[in-house]
Amino acid sequence: MTQALAYESKAIVALMNQPEPQRNGKWLQDALQQAIMLELATLPPYLCGLWSIKPSEGNNAVRDAIKAIVMDEMSHMGLVCNMLTTIGGSPRIDHADLVPKYPGNLPGGVRPQLCVFLSGLTRASLEMYCQIERPEDPVAEDEEPGTSIGDFYTAIRQAFEQNADLIKGHRQVEKEMERAYGLGNSLVRLSTPRAVDDAIQIIMEQGEGSHSSPRNPYFGREGELAHYYEFRQIVKGKKLVEVATAPEGWDYEGGHIPMPETHPMATVPRGGWAQEPAYRPDPAVQDLLTKFNQRYSKLLGQLEKTWQTNDPQKAIDAFDDAQTTMRSLAGPARSLMQHELPDGSGQTYGPEFLYIPA
């Protein structure tokens, strides 16, 4: 993997600066690799917030909303992998240069003002989630329009239109997941321009909504909003509802959304807890951290293997293994949040999501 495409490169900025007529098959492969890395980068912060929510009936609404978003992001990553393989590319996931680095920026230089970090669910982490998912011009917000991840997907969509002849249907992973996780979350075969366009539409509208509506048309729960608005209404503490007198027809005037009770997971230092002398873990905590990091790294290898094989059954087997490994992360993560930091702050440890090469 060249340094030009590494996680901490400015690859997306460079790709977006390339004139549209020059966005050929090589441009599209590089852009899709970056999109895979973008989707992967959102999962650890969202998962830390999800796992930090304490199990109680009063926390169910927020927990269910974030869990649904995590499932969407996982399916988005799978769809982008199918986009890359359908044009003859091979997703790279299991590589030290490509995995997310926290705290830090999103991959490729996109949204350079945003620092993405790992912590429990707080108003600060929710604001960060909102900034990751923020549309160019959000409904019911006074902020000035700004560049969004959706702009990058729009460029990918246009490049597919220009290079439709590259779509061959190579190494496609198919998995029905709508019944478990909601509409749009199945991994489908992308062997036609229409199928690719529909997949990009799902990714964009689940994350940002449309220009006129915050609704998620590919929902798992009735009334589900796009990711940005799901996070925003938790921050506001009020549901986003249709209001006839509001300038854009929507406002945060619905029912109260209480902040859930959470474990106070602190922000993970760059490079992990051991990098800060005041946070240095004892052997029991270090064992949990190592177990988690090993499973996370194993997961990345299984995901890469899923889209590397030409055998459809081996691909599904690898994907099933990845799902099993993914579920196994929650145990050590929640156990870490039972251990307080040794600095007397009352805050706790949490998963580091550090990559350990096989």
- Residue 317 binned pLDDT confidence (cut-offs 50, 70, 90): very high
- Give the pLDDT mean for 65-82: 95
First CA to last CA distance, the chain = 17
* 57-71, 162-176, 211-225, 237-251: least confidently modelled range: 211-225
* 78-82, 118-122, 143-147: least confidently modelled range: 143-147
Q: Which of 75, 162, 96 is nearest to 354 (CA)?
A: 96
Q: Kindly state the tokens that stand for 148.
A: 């969004």
pLDDT at 246 > cutoff 60: yes
* 61-75, 175-189, 223-237: least confidently modelled range: 175-189
Which pLDDT score, from 0 to 100, does residue 119 have? 98
Q: Kindly state the tokens that stand for 215.
A: 């609704």
Rounded CA gap, 10 and 300, in Å?
A: 23
In angstroms, what is the C-alpha Rg of the chain? 20
Identity of the highest mean pLDDT range in 13-17, 181-185, 246-250, 337-341: 337-341
pLDDT at 183 > cutoff 50: yes
Rounded CA gap, 256 and 234, in Å?
A: 9
pTM of structure: 0.94
Architecture of domain 3-259: Up-down Bundle (1.20)
Which pLDDT score, from 0 to 100, does residue 202 have? 92
Element (H, E) at 161: helix 149-162
pLDDT at 177 > cutoff 80: yes
- Residue 289 binned pLDDT confidence (cut-offs 50, 70, 90): very high
Nearest 5°: CA angle at 43, between 37 and 46?
A: 145
pLDDT at 2 > cutoff 70: no
Which pLDDT score, from 0 to 100, does residue 145 have? 46
Q: Kindly state the tokens that stand for 332.
A: 């050590």
pLDDT at 262 > cutoff 90: yes
Cβ atoms 134, 228 nearer than 8 A: yes
Which pLDDT score, from 0 to 100, does residue 72 have? 92
Residues 6+ apart with CB under 8 A from 254: 233, 238, 239, 240, 241
Which pLDDT score, from 0 to 100, does residue 211 have? 64
pLDDT at 1 > cutoff 60: no
Which pLDDT score, from 0 to 100, does residue 140 have? 57
Nearest 5°: CA angle at 96, between 130 and 7?
A: 40
* 108-117, 287-296, 344-353: least confidently modelled range: 108-117
pLDDT at 324 > cutoff 50: yes
